[in-house]
A and B are shown apart, each in its own frame.
Chain A
Amino acid sequence: MLLSLQGIRKSFGGVQALSNGNLEVAEGEVHLLMGENGAGKSTLMKIVAGMYRRDAGEMLWRGQPVSFTRPAEATAHGVAMVHQESLLAPHLNIAENIFLGRETTSALGWVSRGAVVEKARRIISELGFRLEPETLVGRLSPAGKQLVEICRAVALGSSLLIFDEPTSSLSESETKEVFRIVKELCRRSIGVIYITHRLEELRSIGDRVTVLRDGATVHTGPLNALDRDQLIQHMVGRPVNATYHRESLPPGEPLLEVKGVSRGFLRDISFVLRAGEIVGLGGLMGAGRTELCRVLFGLDPAEAGTVTVAGRRVDPKNPRQAVASGVALIPEDRQISGLALKLSIAHNITMPDLGRVSSMGILNKSAEMALASDYRERLRIRCSSPRQLAGRLSGGNQQKIVIAKWVARGARVFLFDEPTRGIDVAAKQEVFEQMDRLARGGAAVLMVSSELPELLQVADRILVMREGRLTGELARPTTQEDIMRLAAPLHTAVESIQ
Chain B
Amino acid sequence: MQKSIAQRLQRFLPFVTLALLFVALTIATPHFLTAVNLASVARQTAVINIMALGMTLVIITGGIDLSVGSILAVSGLFGTMAIKAGQPIPLAIALGIAAGLVCGLLNGLMITMLRINPFIVTLGTLEAYRGIALVVSKGLPVHEIPERFSYLGDGNLLGIPFSLWVLALCAVVMHFLLENTKLGRYSFAIGSNQSAAYYAGVPINFHLTAVYAIAGLLSGLAGMVEASRLMTGQPTAGLGYELQAIAAVVIGGGSLQGGEGSVIGTLIGAFIIGLLSNGSDLLGINPYWQQVTIGAIIIAAVGFDEYRKRRFATA
Q: Which residues of A come within 8 Å of B, CB atoms?
A: 297, 299, 319-320, 322-324, 329, 331, 336-343, 347-348, 351-352, 354-355, 358, 361-363, 365, 405
Q: Are A342 and B195 in contact (CB under 8 A)?
A: no
| A77 shortest CB reach to chain B, Å | 30
Most buried by B among A339, A343, A365: A343
CB-based nearest B residue for A339: B196
Provide the bound-state CA to CA distance between A319 and B196, in Å. 11
Given A342-B192, A342-B259, A351-B189: A363 touches B181 (CB 8 Å cut-off): yes
Given A342-B192, A351-B200, A352-B200: A362 touches B260 (CB 8 Å cut-off): no
Given A320-B203, A347-B189: A340 touches B182 (CB 8 Å cut-off): no
Given A324-B201, A339-B196: A365 touches B180 (CB 8 Å cut-off): yes
CB-based nearest B residue for A352: B200
Q: Are B193 and A340 in contact (CB under 8 A)?
A: yes
- B134 interface residue per 8 A CB criterion: no
Given A361-B182, A363-B185, A365-B180: A339 touches B201 (CB 8 Å cut-off): no
Q: Are A354 and B199 in contact (CB under 8 A)?
A: no
A-B contact pairs, 20 of them (CB 8 A): A320-B203, A323-B201, A336-B193, A338-B199, A339-B193, A340-B188, A340-B197, A342-B188, A342-B192, A342-B259, A342-B260, A351-B185, A351-B202, A352-B202, A355-B182, A358-B181, A361-B181, A361-B182, A362-B181, A363-B180
| A275 shortest CB reach to chain B, Å | 22
Q: B203: which A residues are within 8 A, CB to CB? A: 320
Q: B38: which A residues are within 8 A, CB to CB? A: none
Provide the bound-state CA to CA distance between A347 and B195, in Å. 15
| B214 shortest CB reach to chain A, Å | 13
Q: B180: which A residues are within 8 A, CB to CB? A: 362-363, 365
- B289 interface residue per 8 A CB criterion: no
Q: B198: which of A319, A343, A365 is its contact (CB, 8 Å)?
A: A319
Provide the bound-state CA to CA distance between A340 and B196, in Å. 6
Q: A343: which of B181, B182, B183, B192 is its contact (CB, 8 Å)?
A: B192
The binding surface of chain B is classed by DSSP as helix
Q: A331: which B residues are within 8 A, CB to CB? A: 199
| A445 shortest CB reach to chain B, Å | 18
Q: B199: which A residues are within 8 A, CB to CB? A: 297, 299, 319, 329, 331, 337-338
Given A342-B260, A361-B182: A337 touches B196 (CB 8 Å cut-off): yes
Provide the bound-state CA to CA distance between A219 and B201, in Å. 48
Provide the bound-state CA to CA distance between A488 and B199, in Å. 32
Q: B202: which A residues are within 8 A, CB to CB? A: 351-352
Q: Which residues of B come within 8 Å of A, CB atoms?
A: 180-183, 185-186, 188-189, 191-193, 195-203, 259-260
Q: A363: which of B182, B189, B197 is its contact (CB, 8 Å)?
A: B182
Q: A348: which B residues are within 8 A, CB to CB? A: 196
Given A354-B182, A354-B185, A365-B180: A341 touches B192 (CB 8 Å cut-off): yes
Q: Are A347 and B196 in contact (CB under 8 A)?
A: no
Most buried by B among A322, A338, A340, A343: A340
Query: Known pairs A319-B199, A341-B193. 8 more at Cβ < 8 A?
Result: A329-B199, A337-B196, A338-B199, A340-B192, A342-B260, A347-B185, A352-B200, A362-B181
Q: Which 9 A-B pairs have the closest CB atoms?
A: A323-B201, A340-B192, A342-B192, A342-B259, A352-B200, A340-B193, A320-B201, A351-B200, A337-B195
Q: A341: which B residues are within 8 A, CB to CB? A: 192-193
Q: B260: which A residues are within 8 A, CB to CB? A: 342
Q: Are B201 and A352 in contact (CB under 8 A)?
A: yes
Provide the bound-state CA to CA distance between A354 and B259, in Å. 18
| B43 shortest CB reach to chain A, Å | 32
CB-based nearest A residue for B180: A363
Provide the bound-state CA to CA distance between A405 and B196, in Å. 12
| B32 shortest CB reach to chain A, Å | 38
Provide the bound-state CA to CA distance between A405 and B180, in Å. 19
Provide the bound-state CA to CA distance between A358 and B195, in Å. 23
CB-based nearest A residue for B315: A392
| A461 shortest CB reach to chain B, Å | 27
Q: Are B189 and A319 in contact (CB under 8 A)?
A: no
CB-based nearest B residue for A354: B182
Provide the bound-state CA to CA distance between A343 and B190, in Å. 10
Most buried by B among A329, A339, A365: A339
Q: A361: which B residues are within 8 A, CB to CB? A: 181-183
CB-based nearest A residue for B255: A342
| B112 shortest CB reach to chain A, Å | 14
Provide the bound-state CA to CA distance between A329 and B181, in Å. 26
Provide the bound-state CA to CA distance between A338 and B196, in Å. 5
Provide the bound-state CA to CA distance between A12 and B192, in Å. 26
Q: A336: which B residues are within 8 A, CB to CB? A: 193, 195-196
Q: B198: which A residues are within 8 A, CB to CB? A: 319, 337
Provide the bound-state CA to CA distance between A340 and B200, in Å. 10
Provide the bound-state CA to CA distance between A331 and B199, in Å. 9
Provide the bound-state CA to CA distance between A322 and B200, in Å. 10
Provide the bound-state CA to CA distance between A331 and B259, in Å. 21
Given A320-B203, A340-B259, A343-B259: A358 touches B196 (CB 8 Å cut-off): no
Q: B183: which A residues are within 8 A, CB to CB? A: 361
Provide the bound-state CA to CA distance between A320 and B189, in Å. 15
Most buried by A among B182, B198, B259, B260: B182
| B189 shortest CB reach to chain A, Å | 5
Q: A351: which B residues are within 8 A, CB to CB? A: 185, 189, 196-197, 200, 202
Provide the bound-state CA to CA distance between A85 and B197, in Å. 27
Most buried by B among A299, A342, A355, A365: A342
CB-based nearest B residue for A334: B196
Q: B259: which A residues are within 8 A, CB to CB? A: 340, 342-343
Provide the bound-state CA to CA distance between A355 and B202, in Å. 11
Q: B181: which A residues are within 8 A, CB to CB? A: 358, 361-363
CB-based nearest A residue for B204: A320
Q: A337: which B residues are within 8 A, CB to CB? A: 193, 195-196, 198-199
Provide the bound-state CA to CA distance between A352 and B202, in Å. 7
Q: B197: which A residues are within 8 A, CB to CB? A: 340, 351
| B292 shortest CB reach to chain A, Å | 33
Provide the bound-state CA to CA distance between A319 and B194, in Å. 13
Provide the bound-state CA to CA distance between A329 and B185, in Å. 21
Most buried by A among B189, B201, B259: B201
Q: A347: which of B188, B191, B201 is its contact (CB, 8 Å)?
A: B188
| B193 shortest CB reach to chain A, Å | 4
Q: B200: which A residues are within 8 A, CB to CB? A: 319, 323, 351-352, 405
Q: Are A358 and B192 in contact (CB under 8 A)?
A: no
Q: B188: which A residues are within 8 A, CB to CB? A: 340, 342-343, 347
Provide the bound-state CA to CA distance between A396 and B26, in Å. 54
Q: A354: which B residues are within 8 A, CB to CB? A: 182, 185-186
Provide the bound-state CA to CA distance between A323 and B199, in Å. 8
| B257 shortest CB reach to chain A, Å | 9
Provide the bound-state CA to CA distance between A284 and B255, in Å. 41
CB-based nearest B residue for A363: B180
Provide the bound-state CA to CA distance between A405 and B193, in Å. 15
